[in-house]
């Protein structure tokens, strides 16, 4: 098939490369000339495992090209995938200005019976807005659909090549069948529903996962009050098949480009439709307060942050990505700086882009913890979790804060660290 992918951000680059690798003729479209020039040379502007290799392979095959021209990308495309940004507006809901502008720009070049698919995360009802614009400006018949993405940074290529499910939002059987044909080599778990249901599925999925993190953080706080161990509690509830032992991450809260944004937008959307007193609003508020709450509590346990040398291990919001958007490290480092600490940081991929006052990024764990009074292991990068901290123990009291409960407490305690976990003694 001939496919046009509009928007070459994280989702756009991964999607273009994957469909091109399956033999489709794919054009990646972006108005950013520098980005298009870099991608055309096989240069990915962010780190994602396996993506650089896949991108270059598909460029060499000739199945993938990048352009800034709507006419060039859209004219022969059977399927157009919209993957442009949807930043949060002033009222907290998704700002659709780029989605709507894309519809206006593509309309004059649409091919007869083209399928226009929204992959950007948008609120239910967006398809109707797109259709209104296209009907005014397009010269041919067309259909619209929604196929939300469920990619995880760090495993995005694998998630696209082998998705757990493909959700197709369309009431047009011919369009739904063609989209199913496109995705069938990737997955046999294809679910067809209304566009509104597909768009709600994306918001609901991310908000539910964020809720699990928020919930287990609340339980961890109770464990610290009563002597229970949150990891033992997780083992106890995890054997219930309705609950499972997966995706419980007690710590500094969720971050990244999706969870904070999607939860906040669903909360704002719910307020806009008259459902303000609901769980979505509370989850967002609790996560916003999580890191300040922990840093205040931990500060008391280490004797205050003033003049402390603190090593932050893990700057990205999760392993296997260089993305620091809404990362816990941002609020942690800001809190430490405001309270007079001297901070060092280490991350295998991510770079600190915030205030550098009293902050120094190091090239290794060894350098980061060299003089530390307090070590805070924030993100479970393999380079951090597998590190032997017995080799760097100093002849002074050192606190080790296990921000994701990834370490065996007894090992650190036996090496004379003062261990502080989340929801555990």
Q: In angstroms, rounded to a whole number, what is the distance separating the alpha carbons of residues 319 and 316?
A: 7
Q: Which CATH superfamily is domain 229-420 in?
A: NAD(P)-binding Rossmann-like Domain (3.40.50.720)
Q: 């309270």: which residue's tokens?
A: 339
What is the rounded average pLDDT for all residues in the chain? Answer: 96
Q: What integer is the mean pLDDT of 202-224?
A: 96
Arch. (CATH architecture) of 2-193? 3-Layer(aba) Sandwich (3.40)
pLDDT at 226 exceeding the cut of 90: yes
- Give the residue among 88, 55, 64 at the shortest CA–CA distance from 5: 64
pLDDT at 289: 95
Q: pLDDT tier at 425 (50, 70, 90 boundaries)?
A: confident
Q: Which of 258, 263, 350, 412 is catalytic?
A: 258
**Chain centroid offset of residue 217 CA:** 19
Q: pLDDT tier at 276 (50, 70, 90 boundaries)?
A: confident
Q: Is 5 a catalytic residue?
A: no
Q: What integer is the mean pLDDT of 209-224?
A: 96
pLDDT at 194: 98
Phi, psi at 190, each rounded to 5°: -110, 125
Q: 């764990």: which residue's tokens?
A: 365
pLDDT at 303: 97
In 3-state terms, what secondary structure has residue 385? helix
pLDDT digits (tens, 9 = 90+) for 136-185: 999 999 999 999 999 999 999 999 999 999 999 999 999 999 999 999 99
Instruction: At 362, list the tokens.
Output: 């190091």
Domain-wise residue ranges, the chain? 2-193, 229-420
Instruction: At 236, list the tokens.
Output: 């106890």
Query: Do 2-193 and 229-420 share a fold?
Result: yes
DSSP state of 225: H
Percent helix, strand, coil in the chain (nearest 5)?
45, 15, 40
pLDDT at 214: 97
pLDDT at 257: 87
Q: pLDDT tier at 343 (50, 70, 90 boundaries)?
A: very high
Q: In angstroms, rounded to a whole number, what is the distance separating the alpha carbons of residues 256 and 260?
A: 7
Q: What integer is the mean pLDDT of 261-266?
A: 94
Q: In angstroms, rounded to a whole number, what is the distance separating the alpha carbons of residues 224 and 212?
A: 19
Q: What integer is the mean pLDDT of 272-278?
A: 89
Instruction: At 112, list the tokens.
Output: 């007869």
User: CB–CB of 406/303 below 8 Å?
Assistant: no
Percentage of the chain modeled with pLDDT above 70: 100
Percentage of the chain modeled with pLDDT above 90: 97
């Amino acid at each position: 098939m001939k496919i046009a992918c509009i928007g070459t951000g994280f989702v756009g680059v991964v999607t273009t490369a994957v469909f091109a690798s399956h033999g489709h003729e794919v054009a990646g479209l972006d108005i950013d000339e520098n980005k298009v020039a870099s991608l055309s040379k096989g240069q990915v502007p962010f780190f994602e495992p396996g993506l650089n290799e896949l991108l270059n392979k598909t460029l060499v095959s000739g199945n993938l090209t990048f352009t800034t021209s709507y006419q060039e990308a859209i004219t022969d495309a059977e399927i157009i995938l919209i993957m442009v940004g949807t930043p949060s507006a002033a009222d907290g809901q998704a700002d659709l200005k780029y989605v709507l502008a894309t519809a206006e720009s593509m309309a004059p070049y649409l091919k007869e019976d083209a399928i226009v698919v929204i992959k950007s995360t948008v609120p239910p009802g967006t398809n109707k807005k797109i259709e209104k614009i296209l009907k005014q400006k397009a010269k041919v018949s067309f259909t619209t659909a929604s196929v939300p993405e469920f990619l995880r940074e760090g495993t995005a290529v694998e998630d696209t090549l082998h998705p757990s499910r493909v959700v197709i939002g369309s009431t047009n059987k011919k369009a739904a069948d063609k989209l199913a044909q496109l995705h069938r080599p990737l997955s046999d778990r294809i679910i067809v529903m209304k566009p509104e249901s597909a768009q709600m599925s994306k918001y609901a999925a991310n908000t539910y996962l964020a809720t699990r993190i928020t919930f287990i953080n609340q339980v961890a706080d109770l464990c610290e009050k009563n002597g229970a161990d949150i990891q033992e509690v997780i083992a106890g509830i995890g054997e219930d098949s309705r609950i499972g032992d997966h995706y419980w991450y007690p710590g500094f809260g969720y971050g990244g480009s999706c969870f904070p944004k999607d939860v906040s937008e669903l909360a704002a959307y719910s307020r806009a439709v008259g459902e303000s007193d609901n769980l979505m609003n509370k989850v967002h508020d609790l996560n916003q307060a999580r890191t300040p709450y922990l840093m205040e509590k931990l500060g008391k346990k280490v004797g205050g942050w003033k003049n402390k040398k603190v090593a932050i291990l893990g700057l990205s919001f999760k392993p296997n990505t260089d993305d620091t958007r809404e990362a816990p490290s941002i609020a942690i480092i800001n809190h430490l700086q405001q309270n007079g600490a001297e901070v060092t940081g280490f991350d295998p991929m991510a770079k600190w882009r915030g205030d550098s006052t009293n902050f120094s990024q190091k090239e290794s764990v060894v350098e980061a913890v060299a003089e530390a009074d307090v070590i805070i292991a924030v993100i479970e990068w393999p380079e951090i979790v597998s590190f032997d901290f017995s080799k760097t123990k100093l002849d002074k009291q050192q606190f080790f804060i296990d921000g994701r409960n990834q370490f065996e407490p007894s090992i650190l305690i036996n090496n004379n660290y003062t261990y502080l976990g989340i929801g555990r003694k």
